[in-house]
Amino acid sequence: MDQVDFNAPHSMGTTIIGVTYNGGVVLGADSRTSTGVYVANRASDKITKLTDNVYVCRSGSAADSQVVSDYVRYFLHQHTIQLGQPATVKVAANLVRLLAYNNKNNLQTGLIVGGWDKYEGGQIYGVPLGGTIVQQPFAIGGSGSSYLYGFFDQAWKEGMTQEEAEELVKKAVSLAIARDGASGGVVRTVIINSEGVTRNFYPGDQLPIWHDELESHNSLLDILGAPEPMNI
């Protein structure tokens, strides 16, 4: 019970989200990577670039999701050269699907592919365990997503602005972090539209406080009003 298993596979417990809005997509994720109960990395970046206009949110096994994204990046690079123009989001998502599906017995990773291209605009594709591909107006994944189904059923709206979409993603990841032990750290978002890509970073103190949580302090001593110990 009291063991830290350093040989346990690195797993990104995770909360990942992808949301379309009226000009593109917003991708979001937490930043916790755990080895058993130990948090191996508290500031990971789970939103990975495949091309300039397509990114993927990774969940599940850190190794499996990394190697899949590495292969897809490699294939897309060659594809872009041959095509002579940026790859479409659909092609990127289908490459991910092919790898996930054809190696389904050996992979344990759920992915959300999101991006913008000039033909279809902003698109989100979910590629869960098993290699199904499903295009959705929004997708959630990772262990933290269990806590968000009800939230999205209620809060998701068609035709949001960029600000509304990013606020929704930020709020959702923060809610999942509050309840999922395997998610935590900071909220990272990536916004992709015709103009390009914007990365954002929201540490814990910039996120809202939810039920049964408290405002944070430097020390109990500040609250008790005890005098600070003297420092010479």
Q: Which residues bind another protein (CB under 8 A)?
A: 1-2, 4, 12-13, 32-34, 37-39, 41-46, 48-49, 62, 66, 69-70, 73, 143, 147, 178-182, 184-186, 199, 201, 203-205, 212-221, 223-224, 226-229
**Taken in order 168, 170, 175, 176, is the CA torsion positive or negative?**
positive
How far is residue 157's CA from residue 97's CA, in Å, rounded to a whole number? 27
CB of 47: closest distance to another protein in angstroms?
A: 9
Nearer to another protein, 52 or 164 (CB): 52
Supply the residues annotated as catalytic.
14
Burial class (CB in 10 A: 0-12, 13-18, 19+), 78: exposed
The closest of 157, 166, 170, 158 to 203, measured between CA atoms, is 170
Cα–Cα distance measured from residue 28 to residue 30, given in angstroms and rounded to the nearest whole number: 7
CB of 64 to another protein, least distance (A): 12
Nearer to another protein, 224 or 232 (CB): 224
Q: How far is the CB of 224 from another protein (least distance, A)?
A: 7
CA distance 126 to 186: 23
- Which residues pair with residue 11 across a beta bridge? 34, 61
Q: Rounded distance, CA 153 to CA 206, Å? A: 25
Give 45 or 164: the residue with its C-beta nearer to another protein: 45
Distance of closest approach, residue 157 Cβ to another protein, in angstroms = 28
Q: Which residue has the tokens 């690195």?
A: 10
Q: Which C-beta is closer to another protein: that of 130 or that of 203?
A: 203
